[in-house]
Amino acid sequence: MKTYWVAYQIALQETLQRRSTLIMDRLGGFAIVVSLYSFWTALIGDKATFLGYTRGEMLTYVLALNVLRSFVFTGRGWQLVGEISSGKISSYLIRPLHYYGYALALDMAQKTVHVAAAVLEVGVLAALVGGELFLPRDPATWLLFGAAVALSSLIFFFLEFMISSLAFWTSESGGPLFCFELFLQFAAGAFFPLDVLPAGLRRLLEMTPFPYMVYFPVRVFLEKVPAAEALRLIGMEALWLAAVFTAAMTVWRRGVRSYAAEGG
């Protein structure tokens, strides 16, 4: 465990060292949040609610997106593809550590910095627009939200890990990974609440793990899901995580067996 803790600390220092890259990353993300917030504000107009969301709830949804994007959608997929394709993965495979544990430690370091920056941005934007940010009244909601977000982050990590592992068999796994990440952002509700979609399409998406990554945690935070229902959905999330973890590990083990250290 100490090995991963050291890896986490080194990665944290590296992320903080590249300040210009970090600031630019955050600026870009901030532009997207401003854009989405403005669009939703224009949609609400003079109405009291839109799709069941009040102005404050919609503002909270958009700002929560900024934090969740930073916590859920930062994986190590592209690095894994690069390391397998270049043969660099060999040096990790012979070390006395589990690669996915090491990757998770590095990912956590990235998340730590980006979530801190995202929370700061949310505070700035909330102060700028002077909107009434929705904060949960029930303390239990914070716990449910935390559990939902932690599970969704792990689901994303292992899903991305599984798709990136295709690089063991083909040097072209970047394409499927790119496709997956774009589809995921829409299907997870990372651009807009899924309530806007027709009921049939929404039900179809609910049969996948994607809505559990953003849409469902934000609805928990907004207290739009009763506690009992939230617990049931968190149980579903845990099941999805178990399925995705098993699949990712199976693909990883088979990939390592077929790995030929190209370019190593």
Size of the site for other proteins (CB under 8 A): 39
Q: Please pick, from the candidates 4, 92, 99, 191, the single residue that binds other proteins as defined by CB under 8 A.
A: 191
Locate tokens 């229902």: which residue?
A: 229
For the four alpha carbons of 187, 69, 121 and 56, in that order, the dihedral sign comes to positive
For the CB of residue 155, give the shortest distance to other proteins in the complex, in Å: 20
Would you call 87 exposed, middle or buried from its count of C-beta atoms within 10 A (0-12, 13-18, 19+)? middle
- Residue 182 in contact with other proteins, rule: CB under 8 A: yes
Query: Taking CB under 8 A as the criterion, which residues in 66-85 touch other proteins?
Result: none
| CA dist., res. 22 & res. 121, Å (int) | 13
Q: Residue 124 carries which DSSP code?
A: H
The SS3 of residue 26 is: helix
H-helix or E-strand containing 50? strand 49-50
Q: Which is nearer to other proteins, 43 or 238 (CB)?
A: 43
Binding mask 88-127 for other proteins (x = CB under 8 A): ----------------------------------------
- Residue 200 in contact with other proteins, rule: CB under 8 A: no
Would you call 12 exposed, middle or buried from its count of C-beta atoms within 10 A (0-12, 13-18, 19+)? middle
Binding mask 25-54 for other proteins (x = CB under 8 A): x-xxx-xx-xx--xx-xxx-x----xx---
- Residue 13 in contact with other proteins, rule: CB under 8 A: no
Q: Which residues bind other proteins (CB under 8 A)?
A: 20-21, 24-25, 27-29, 31-32, 34-35, 38-39, 41-43, 45, 50-51, 129, 170-179, 181-183, 186, 191-192, 196-198
